[in-house]
């Protein structure tokens, strides 16, 4: 099983969480993020219009956080 880790930090108040073949189980995972957050789990970068998205596993892509707290719930 691969991991989801913070690989890069941008300017002040930004972080990029990358997923590389992340597969914690069968099917899909739910990722929570603030509305307006940029993410990419397919061909194009998208902007979150909801506080959660569902992505099929294994997950490869990223989430760019501009501000807030990233924690293990």
Domain of 16? 4-65
Predicted TM-score (pTM) of the model is 0.75
Query: Could you tell me the CA-to-CA distances from 52 to 6, 8, 9, 13, 61 in Å, in that order?
Result: 19, 22, 22, 21, 15
What is the C-alpha to C-alpha distance for residues 6 and 64, in angstroms, rounded to an integer? 10
* Count of domains forming the chain: 1
Comparing 46 with 8, the larger pLDDT belongs to 46
Provide the 3-class DSSP secondary structure of residue 33. Answer: coil
Residues 18-70 pLDDT 10s: 888 888 877 888 888 888 899 999 899 999 999 999 999 888 999 988 765 55
What is the C-alpha to C-alpha distance for residues 64 and 39, in angstroms, rounded to an integer? 6
Confirm whether 41 is domain-assigned: yes
Amino acid 41: pLDDT: 93
Given a contact cutoff of 8 angstroms between Cβ atoms, the answer to whether 47 and 36 are in contact is yes
Confirm whether 70 is domain-assigned: no
């Amino acid at each position: 099983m691969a991991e989801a880790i913070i690989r890069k930090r941008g300017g002040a108040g930004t972080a990029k969480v990358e997923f590389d073949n992340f597969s914690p189980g069968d099917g899909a995972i739910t990722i929570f993020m603030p509305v307006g957050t940029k993410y990419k789990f397919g061909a194009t970068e998208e902007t979150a219009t909801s506080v959660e998205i569902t992505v099929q596993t294994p997950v490869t892509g990223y989430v760019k956080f501009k501000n807030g707290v990233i924690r293990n719930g």
